Amino acid sequence: MLFNSLEFAIFFPIVATMYFVLPQRLRTLHLLVSSCVFYMAFIPAYILILALTIVIDYTAGLYLEKATGRARVWLLAVSVIATCLVLFVFKYFFFVVNNVIGFAGLFGWQLSGPSIEIILPIGLSFHTFQSLSYVIEVYRGRQRAELNFVTYATYVMFFPQLVAGPIERPQNLLHQFYERHEFDYVRVTAGLKRMAWGFFKKLVIADRLALYVNDVYANPQNFNGLQLTLATIFFAYQIYCDFSGYSDIAIGSARVLGFKLMENFDKPYHALTISEFWRRWHISLSTWFRDYIYIPLGGSRFGERRHFASLLVTFGISGLWHGANWTYVFWGLLNAIYLIAGSISKDARNRAFGLIGMTEGTWARRLVMWASTFLLTCIGWIFFRANTMADAWYILTHLAIGWDFERISTEQFLLRQMPIAIAGIALLEIVQLLQNRVSISAILARLPLAPRWAVYASAIIATVLFGIFRKTQFIYFQF
Amino acid sequence: MLEKAGIARPMGRNEPEERGGAAKGELSEAPHGVARLACFAGVVLLLAILLDALITCGLRQINTSSFGVWNRIVDGKINADILISGSSRALTHYDPRIIEERTGLTAFNIGLNGSQTDMQVARLKTYLRHNKKPLLLIQNLDLFSFQTTHGGVYDPGQYVAYLEEPAIYAALARIDPNVWKARVVPLYGYAAEDLRFSWISGAMGFFGWNPPEDHFLGFRPRYSAWTEDFERLKAMNPEGVRFEIEAEGVSQMEELLSLCKDQAIKVLLVYSPEYMEMQALTTNRPQIFKRFDELTHRFGAPVWDYSSSPTSARRENFYNSQHLNAEGAMTFSNDLAERLAADPVLGRPSVRSYSKGKSS
């Protein structure tokens, strides 16, 4: 079930109402059943795959807590391998097979792959990581094994964050299923407002920009440099608004029910360095990789070489997590290279800035740092979005070629969409800039009821009328 | 037992007791909060209903351009003797003003941009529901005449204000079973289906605004120069292109011809000019035209094929391989109108009913 669908608009109020009406002992079960309904709206049979990973990790958690010595290590290994095997089969099997066939072809061996079709279960990468997080934390002794199967299953399947995160830690989410959450008007309306903001980002901005990006990136050779540049910048905002919009809806809907999920984005395009960008972008995934891959590999504790190697491995895996394509792996490695280069050149850059009078904290320096970070990020997005490495290279090398201001629109993205797209991005940036300085909610709350409701109603109607409702799922669903 | 099985564990000291509902004190706040939310939702729904009605009403008031044509169809203000039907090639090729002048009969063009035969039939049925049946229907033929709509109609927003028309709704429902949402859920059709902001036109139309007129008795001339689309098409299809003949598409065409036969409407099938390089690129052209001939034999509707006309040979007459520009359309319309006027069957005095004053 998509968040941006009529079905969800009916599903969520019913689920929320029943949640508050039901006695406490039935609420978690109700959330589990609702989450099953939510998930089965995609491909019903795939709930069996989810059930399998839940049973594996629930059982592993119970035995891990009781086991000692090497048995604990073996149990953890079995659980991790079994869980990852499910992910491998559905997500990476054909990627590996095709690469083996390609590699064999270099030696003149003609191999052929199996003629079956495997459809990736939606959200597999997300709930797999959430399950892994649980068993690892139990292994480390930082989380007690959950004895209640219904509670554990709901922790994995909690519908607001089931298919695209935020990837929660058991320490944050599990105990909340034991807390009593009552209907609180202020909290519920705060959650609804968060959801509304998420819908605005997704429907008005992300799905509108997608019309342009999809046309250009499908056949980049048919478009001029201006269109390629616009499509790349648009994609940067598309993926941000799509994913952060989803996170807002997830966090908001959980908030309505009384649950607090972790924040997943913190204005990433306001970052001044790549390092800062990764502290602001997809925070739940970044911290997952930091805690379970980067730090165990050594992180920055064992010298520069180990540090750089850890970065390359972590970001390479991160790229692969996003998709079974070399373009994603390249994107991940490119970001690692950015971080390595940034680390190596830090002193040199500081000296260079000093020489031209751009001392730390000056607006000029901040502007240069922001622009260069955004540029490097966009270059990375080219590889992330392009269908092939060849397409990505073509786009990168043709961004500045053949600009034609009379040829801006595409088949799907008529010129009339441009003012709305620009206005949407502008509104997004204004709101984000104001967020640190003023509380928009507080200002609105001070208005009398009628004008306050008029503002909220107008915002909802405007989102509906300016939104794009073509059957577009969230980008991160495919991961 | 559940504890022994390890499925449940006893509640700890810090876990909330099960109380079966809200705590005291909170109980009275919840209904008030729910009532406020329900009230707000009601306000939004009411606004949506009112806005939907305003937009629909506004679109139905527009007198010009494409919505003007739709409104004239459903208001029964056309009643032409000669009706032209078809896709965008009909819309941009046939100038009823020229046909009227040459034949002395009233004419109107209900060609539908971006449409397949299924939606053309729906538009024709809607026309016949509200207007006097024409003496002659000129149905433009295309290479894709035997294809139905897949993956959604072109410019779905144009239909939202007319979903009460049975033929339109039935045709859309065949293509998209979810079309009922556009009828039942306020603003759904204008929000979910419309990328061209027809709702803005509707809102402005409610206050008397009309777009600039670009349709003349339903005909829409295109004042465009040759685009590069055909060169790109050739580059992407070096082996040629093929237009599938779908059973349902054939059925739709037969339905159109049967409908006219039942209502004693003469039908003329016309393959209007197509740039000849495109003709050469189409690999199954003979099979498609063979099907056109079969229709002629079964329904007695003659086919006038302009593929080899001088108009088709000159690139200057086209803005892309399928569509005549304004100048090409004028040339073609003149040729067609003269031929119509001179045709012994179609131009017979008994067919003429000079009522030029009715056309507008």
Does any domain span residue B20? no
Task: With a cut of 80, say whether residue A118 has pLDDT above it.
Answer: no
The alpha carbon of residue A210 is apart from the nearest alpha carbon of chain B, in Å, by: 13
Domain contains B6: no
The total number of structural domains in chain B stands at 1
Q: What is the mean pLDDT of residues B272-287?
A: 91
User: Is residue A198 within 8 Å of residue A246, measured between CB atoms?
Assistant: yes
Tell me whether residue B340 is in a domain: yes
Question: What is the nearest CA distance from A318 to chain B, expressed in angstroms?
Answer: 35
The mean pLDDT value for A375-395 works out to 94
Taking the Cβ of residue B51 and every Cβ of chain A, the question of whether any pair is shorter than 8 Å is answered with yes
The beta-carbon neighbor of A457 closest among B9, B33, B43 is: B43
Q: In what order do the strands lie in the sheet with B136-140?
A: B107-109, B82-85, B136-140, B266-271, B303-305
Chain A contact for B23 (CB, 8 A cutoff): yes
- Residue B84 near residue B94 (C-beta atoms within 8 A): yes
Q: What is the ipTM of this complex?
A: 0.84
CB contact under 8 A, A149 and B15: no
B185 touches chain A (CB under 8 A): yes
pLDDT in tens, B55-90: 999 999 999 999 999 999 999 999 999 999 999 999
pLDDT in tens, A313-360: 999 999 988 888 888 999 999 999 999 999 999 889 888 888 888 888
- Going from N- to C-terminal start, the domains of chain A cover 6-183, 187-466
- Predicted confidence band of residue B346 (pLDDT cuts 50, 70, 90): low
CB B258: neighbour CB atoms within 10 A? Answer: 12
Is B187 within 8 Å of A456 when comparing Cβ atoms?
A: no
| Spatial CB neighbours of B35, under 8 Å, sequence gap ≥ 6 | none
Distance CA A273, CA B180 (A): 50
Whether B8 maps to a domain, the answer reads: no
- Are the beta carbons of B47 and A463 closer than 8 angstroms? no
B13 within some domain: no
**What chain B residue is nearest to A413 in terms of C-alpha separation?**
B195
For residue B2, tell me if it sits in a domain.
no
Chain B residues close to A412, C-beta within 8 Å: 195
Between chains, do B40 and A23 touch, taking CB under 8 Å as contact? no
Chain A residue whose CA is closest to B24: A182
B349 lies in which domain range?
Answer: 41-358
Burial environment of residue A377 by CB neighbours within 10 A (0 to 12, 13 to 18, 19 or more) = buried
For the entire predicted model, the pTM comes to 0.85
Q: Which two tokens stand for residue A138?
A: 């139990």
Q: Is the pLDDT of residue B15 over 90?
A: no
Look at A16 and B25; give whichever has higher pLDDT.
A16
Query: Regarding beta strands B318-320 and B323-324, do their DSSP bridges make them parallel or antiparallel, or are they unpaired?
Result: antiparallel
For residue A406, with 0-12 CB atoms within 10 Å meaning exposed, 13-18 middle and 19 or more buried, which class applies? Answer: exposed
Preferred mutation among A5, A147, A211, A415 to probe B, highest tally of B CBs within 10 A: A147
| Helices A449-466 & B29-61 angle (0-180, nearest 10) | 50
Percentage of the residues of chain B whose pLDDT score is greater than 70: 88
Confidence of residue B333 (pLDDT cuts 50, 70, 90): very high
The whole-number pLDDT of residue B96 equals: 97
CATH number at residue B164: 3.40.50.1110
Q: Just list the catalytic residues of A.
A: 322
Predicted confidence at residue B12, as pLDDT, reads: 38
pLDDT the model gives residue B19: 36
Q: What angle do CA A390, A395, A400 make, to 5 degrees?
A: 145
Burial of A255 per CB tally in 10 Å (0-12, 13-18, 19+): buried
B51/chain A closest Cα distance in angstroms? 9
* pLDDT for position A327: 87
pLDDT at A64 over 70: yes
Closest partner residue to B199 among A24, A149, A465, by Cβ?
A465
Taking an 8 Å cut-off on Cβ atoms, the answer to whether A188 and B199 are in contact is no
Set of chain B residues whose Cβ sits within 8 Å of the Cβ of A188: 33, 37
At B147, is the secondary structure helix, strand, or coil?
A: coil
> What is the per-residue pLDDT across A18-59, written as a single tens digit (0 to 9) for each?
999 999 999 999 999 999 999 998 888 889 888 988 999 999
The whole-number pLDDT of residue A299 equals: 87
Q: How many CB pairs under 8 A join A and B?
A: 84
Q: How many distinct helices (H) and strands (E) make up chain B?
A: 15, 7
Is the CB of A390 inside 8 Å of chain B's CB atoms? Answer: no
Q: B188–A6: do the CB atoms touch at under 8 Å?
A: yes
* Token pair listed for B83: 């009706």
B44–chain A Cβ distance below 8 A for any pair: yes
* Residue of chain A whose alpha carbon sits nearest to that of B4: A147
Q: Is residue B22 part of a domain?
A: no
